[in-house]
Copies of this chain bind each other. A is one copy, B any other.
Amino acid sequence: MSLLVVGSIAFDSIRTPHGQVEEILGGSATYFSVTASWFTPVRVVAVVGEDFREEHFQVFRGRSIDTLGIERVPGRTFRWKGEYVGDMNQAHTLATQLNVFESFVPKIPAAYLETEFLFLGNIDPVLQLNVRRALPNLRASGLDSMNYWIKGMPEELAKVLATVEILVINEGEARMLSGHNNLKKAAESIRKLGPRVVVIKRGEHGATLFSPDSIFTAPAYPLDQVQDPTGAGDTFAGGFMGHLARSQDLSDANLRRAVAYGSVMGSFAVEEFGLGRLLRLTPGEIDARYRELKSQTHFDA
């Protein structure tokens, strides 16, 4: 089933205790779409500059990702430079060049208007709301946001929050958005703002789903080594929304499966720098790790 994502496409320069890379393909829409494409066809709405070449488009086109909505405009593509140290739980931004992303106005191709599943990546909430309103036939929409918008544009964020079914957000940002340190209260309070379902991403501690019916936690899949945490949250969202769009099932049991797929995909993302591991996956590897995650959380009554 059709899944559309709007977000950023970027060239990332990243340093971690395990190495460094320069100007590799990244951005929220990139991690999301490459991940979700393992589950369902994906459409991307984003903007890139003239330095975004055919080889970069091929990363998408080679894998059932429609690039009609990736607008190429004069100028340079968004660049981000960051570093992770110690336990790598926090990215330290060294430089951000918004470039063409600064004046990004998402344009929805006519062919996308019947899209049924939408993910509004972490961009200006005014743009998120415009995209949401442009798609009348949605079965479900998910949203991400961050401290910058929560603090800077709370009213605009509230407007778009009121239009989505699902919020997928980091732990710290759930606390900031709700004003509650307690995560259960934070989720309850956020659910009153609009989203029926709140998924709180907890990094190396997994993710917790707050739905009308229940609370569910999936841990992160334990790895021998985390090479590069960049994109893990967008990858989680890609696995989560990808499974929902594939299955077209918004039941509580299936939302739980979607969280587990999100956790599994996030664990692949961080095994290598950039998109490396996500591009080399097989459906068998995804299913095997999903079953392993299940066995790692099972206990008897």
Q: A: which residues have CB within 8 A of B?
A: 86-88, 175, 181-185, 202, 204-206, 208, 214-219, 222-226, 253, 256-257, 259-260, 290-291, 294-301
Task: Indicate if the CB atoms of B296 and A217 lie closer than 8 Å.
Answer: yes
8 Å CB contact of A205 from B202, B214, B216, B225:
B202
User: Assuming A202-B205, A205-B202, A225-B182, is B299 touching A257 (CB within 8 A)?
Assistant: yes
Residue of B nearest to A254 (CB): B300
The answer on a CB contact under 8 Å between B182 and A226 is yes
- The reply to whether A253 and B299 contact each other, CB–CB distance below 8 Å, is yes
Cross-chain contact A184 with B219 (CB below 8 angstroms)? no
Taking CB atoms, residues of chain B closer than 8 Å to A295 are 214
Known: A257-B299, A300-B253. A219 touches B222 (CB 8 A): no
By the criterion CB–CB under 8 Å, are B299 and A218 in contact? Answer: yes
* Contact sample, A vs B, 21 pairs, CB 8 Å cutoff: A88-B181, A182-B223, A182-B226, A184-B222, A184-B224, A185-B225, A205-B206, A206-B217, A206-B219, A216-B296, A216-B298, A217-B219, A217-B222, A218-B297, A253-B299, A256-B299, A256-B300, A257-B299, A291-B301, A294-B299, A294-B301
Question: Which B residue's beta carbon lies closest to that of A257?
Answer: B299
A300→B291 CA distance, assembly (Å): 9
Copies in the complex: 2
Instruction: Point out the residues of chain B lying under 8 angstroms from A216, CB to CB.
Output: 296-299
A297 to B86, CA, bound (A): 30
CA–CA, A226 to B182, complex, Å?
8
Contact of A297 among B88, B217, B301 (CB under 8 A): B217
Contact of A224 among B185, B219, B256, B300 (CB under 8 A): B185
- Chain B's nearest CB lies how many Å from the CB of A66? 30
Contacts of A175 in B (CB 8 A): 87
| A17 closest partner in B (C-beta) | B181
Q: How far is the CA of A7 from the CA of B295 in the complex (A)?
A: 35
- A301 CA / B288 CA spacing, docked (Å): 11
Measured CA separation A217–B221 after assembly (Å): 10
B219 adjacent to A296 (CB under 8 Å): no
Write the chain B residue with the least CB distance to A225: B182
Q: Establish whether residues B205 and A296, one from each chain, have CB atoms under 8 Å apart when the complex forms.
A: no
**With the chains together, A226 CA to B25 CA distance in Å?**
43
